[in-house]
Amino acid sequence: MNKIVFFACVFLTVFLIVIAPLIIRISGTAAYYKIGNDYIPSLSFVIGERKLSAVDTSRYPMKKTYKYTRIENQQVDIKDYVEYLVNNDDFLILNSSGDEKIIITKDSTKDGYLIVVSISILGKGYMITLEEVKKSI
């Protein structure tokens, strides 16, 4: 029994030291954000790796928020990212409030739904929120 506990502790230690940081790093630099059945090119894919500090997810409504910190040129990153999504991924600019917040949208692969992406500046970083929203008339 002691050997089983010992090996379980060794496995857990190896996982926490070696594998878990790799999983976290991969998720911070993933090529796409997934919201519902839709894949949106990630900020890291479009403009390069940035410091991802948090990811929040809710299922009802379907929503994911990515918070990036320690960014030097937030406006440039946001401008380049939005331009890429508009020019290459069929997004439309829905609303823009200067350099502080922009909202873009496109049809979801799920019938009757839209993907809405909100990008807001937060101090020395920004927050990207993706939502799957039911269309209304």
Q: Among residues of the chain, what percentage have pLDDT more than 90?
A: 45
Mention the CATH class of domain 31-134: alpha beta
For residue 102, name the pLDDT band (cuts at 50, 70, 90). very high
* CA 75 – CA 71 distance, rounded (Å): 10
97-102-90 Cα angle (round to 5) = 140
Of 57 and 99, the one with more pLDDT: 57
Domain ranges of the chain: 1-30, 31-134
For residue 17, name the pLDDT band (cuts at 50, 70, 90). low
Cβ atoms of 13 and 110 closer than 8 Å: no
Q: In terms of Cα–Cα distance, which of 121, 116, 114 is closest to 103?
A: 116
Cβ atoms of 63 and 131 closer than 8 Å: yes
